[in-house]
Amino acid sequence: MKAIPTFSMQLFVIIILFSNILHAQSTLKIKFQPDDYVYVYETKGFGTPNDLYSAVIQNIAIVNHDNDSLKIKEVEIIVSQGAIEIQRYKVPEKILFESAQKFNTYQKQGVLEYYDFQFQTSKYLNGINFSKSTTLAREEALVITHQTMLFQTLPDLITVIVRASDNIGNSLLTEGTLRVINHKSNNQYYFPLKGTWTAYGAPSLISHHRWGSIQEFAFDLVKIGANGNTHNGDGSKLTDYYSFGESVYAIGSGKVVSIFNGGTESNENLKQPNESSEEYFNKSAKLQQELLSKGFSYVMGNHIIIEHDNDEYSHYAHLKTGSLKVKVGDSVNRGQQIAALGHSGNSTEPHLHFHVTDGPDMAYSRSIPVSFDNISFFPDDDKNVRHIHYGQILITHD
């Protein structure tokens, strides 16, 4: 029998390996929500030795479209700048298993549908079931959330590689990529309030905002008094709060595309002196459920959305009832008063919830980083710092 040439055997092996990769790509898919790219947020400050950039991949879905079950063996995330690898790490198996169980339970309990604005599975996983383990049956998915990274060097690409095996032992591999963007708007924006304010919510990793794509780069803004509190007295009345009723201004010129003035305000929604923290938490959770049952607009309370140049939209939420000074279709100028700060919607105390997005849909548009041209930080300011972080005190300048 004639021997098979060595080069033919090598070619045969290559063909087999290549066919396996094609098979994986056609049956095992990686999907991201939000898709295409991830925004970084700058972490700089007075005296910091390094520029840092944080990034959060909100949702990574691994979907099996094969007729047979597939076992997820490994999920690896590689961060790079051009041809240079910056970071590489594997998602722990424990996280994969816990993520599978979480989304499987959420689906059974109806949580995914009720909180679709948070998980957005209807937008990119419609009709897909969620596996309770790392073994995926046909049309099942495993979703990994909130993969968090910190960089000293700004990357330009994140690659997610998934290795799996089918039920006869074939190894499969697929990958997905996200571009990395350090967003710098071409629009010039002014801060939506005037005076001295504190960021009680911000895009910092220790803030709740960072962990949802629709408010990832949002702010909760309050005013602190000389007593070091957000309120005078015991804080049981709206009028006790230094922020309540303060004027809210358009951050830039644009057109009003949406308003809502159906929210109400009540002293009863504040933490009362005789309430324990547990009692107040339960009261707030009940209120949130009541608002959600009415619609997402009621959660955000009275609000205004303004369209600016370059497809950017500013959102102003929890506004004071009856204070809105604009209507849909109005043109506004930068610095124009549009409303007053309030306590409507899902609000623990009077504050302004503010963010900029890439679209007018409050429940599904993507939050984008924003910076302002008329602020300085207290007590130490650095003109190279663009981004506001949790707990920072900032002062506006006309």
89: left (phi over 0), alpha (psi -120 to 50) or beta: beta
State whether 74 and 104 are in the same domain: yes
- Does residue 80 sit in the same domain as residue 168? yes
Can you list the positions of beta strands (E) in 335-382?
Answer: 337-340, 352-357, 367-368, 375-378
Does some domain include residue 12?
no
Domain limits for position 32: 27-181
Per-residue pLDDT of 305-318, as tens digits, reads: 999 999 999 999 99
If asked whether residues 351 and 285 sit together in one domain, one would say yes
Smallest CA-to-CA distance from 39 within 175, 176, 210, 186 is with: 210
CA 122 to chain centre: 17
Query: Based on the structure, what is the number of domains in the chain?
Result: 2
pLDDT one-digit tens code per residue, 88-130 = 999 999 999 999 999 999 999 999 988 898 899 999 999 999 9
pLDDT for residue 388 = 92
Does residue 383 belong to any structural domain of this protein?
Answer: yes
User: Average pLDDT, stretch 371-398?
Assistant: 88
Domain closes at, from 124, 151, 181 = 181
Are 40 and 127 within one domain?
Answer: yes
> Tens digits of per-residue pLDDT, 21-39?
444 455 899 999 999 999 9
pLDDT at 357: 98
Task: State the average pLDDT over residues 150-174.
Answer: 94
Same structural domain, 148 and 213: no
The pLDDT value recorded for residue 168 is 87
> Do the domain assignments include residue 52?
yes
- Answer yes or no: is 191 within a domain: no
Query: For residue range 268-303, what is the model confidence (pLDDT) as tens digits?
Result: 999 999 999 999 999 999 998 899 889 889 999 999
What mean pLDDT comes out for the span 365-392?
89
Within 8 A by CB and 6+ apart from 257, the residues are 305, 306, 307, 313, 328, 360
CATH of the domain at 236: 2.70.70.10
Give yes or no: residues 238 and 153 share one domain.
Answer: no
Domain assignment of residue 56, yes or no: yes
Residues 16-20, mean pLDDT to the nearest whole number = 45
Average pLDDT, the chain: 91
pLDDT of residue 46: 66
pLDDT value at residue 24: 47
Residue 22 lies in a domain: no
What pTM, to 2 d.p., does this model score?
0.90
Q: Are 201 and 142 contained in the same domain?
A: no
Same domain, 80 and 163: yes
- Final residue of a structural domain among 181, 212, 246: 181
Q: What is the pLDDT of residue 208?
A: 92
Q: What percent of the chain has pLDDT over 90?
A: 82
pLDDT of res. 332:
99
**Residue 8 domain flag:** no
- In this structure, are 385 and 294 located in the same domain? yes
Closest CA to 69 of 138, 132, 13, 145: 138
Answer with the one of 123, 152, 181 that is the final residue of a domain. 181
Q: What is the pLDDT of residues 333-344, one digit of tens each?
A: 999 999 999 999
3-state secondary structure of 339: strand
Q: What is the CATH number of the domain that holds 138?
A: 2.60.40
User: Is the predicted pLDDT of residue 386 greater than 90, yes or no?
Assistant: no
What residue type is 355 in one-letter code? H
Q: Does one domain contain both 175 and 274?
A: no
Whether residue 117 is found in the same domain as residue 255? no
Residue 258 falls in which region: left (phi positive, over 0), alpha (psi -120 to 50) or beta: beta
User: Which amino acid makes up residue 227?
Assistant: N
Whole-number Å distance between alpha carbons of 324 and 238: 18
Q: Are residues 243 and 111 part of one domain?
A: no
Instruction: Report how far residue 303's alpha carbon sits from residue 246's, in angstroms, rounded to the nearest whole number.
Output: 15
Residue 20, domain member (yes or no): no
Q: Which position has the higher pLDDT, 46 or 81?
A: 81
